[in-house]
Amino acid sequence: MCRARKTVNSAMQHLAWLVLGTTGFLALGWLIRRRSKQREEREKTYKEFIEKIIN
């Protein structure tokens, strides 16, 4: 019985690490995408500002 319990605990621990890792990668991907979008918006705003000054 003790061996079966260790196996179940080990499997649950691996599952928890898998869920945490997946969640972490998804959050990291979301953050990178968000920052990229913010940078593009800043560049667009800057270009529009420069065009207004030139024209």
Q: Is the pLDDT of residue 55 over 90?
A: no
pLDDT at 37: 96
**C-alpha 14 chain-centroid distance:** 21
Q: What is the mean pLDDT of the chain?
A: 94
The domain in which residue 44 lies consists of 1-55
pTM of whole model > 0.75? no
Domain count, the chain: 1
The string of pLDDT tens digits covering residues 1-26 is 688 888 999 999 999 999 999 999 99
CA-CA distance, 3 to 11, in Å (whole number)?
12
The string of pLDDT tens digits covering residues 20-49 is 999 999 999 999 999 999 999 999 999 999
CA-CA distance, 51 to 47, in Å (whole number)?
6
Q: Name which residue leads in pLDDT, 55 or 1.
A: 55
Cα 50 to Cα 10, 41, 45, 53, distances in angstroms: 60, 14, 9, 5
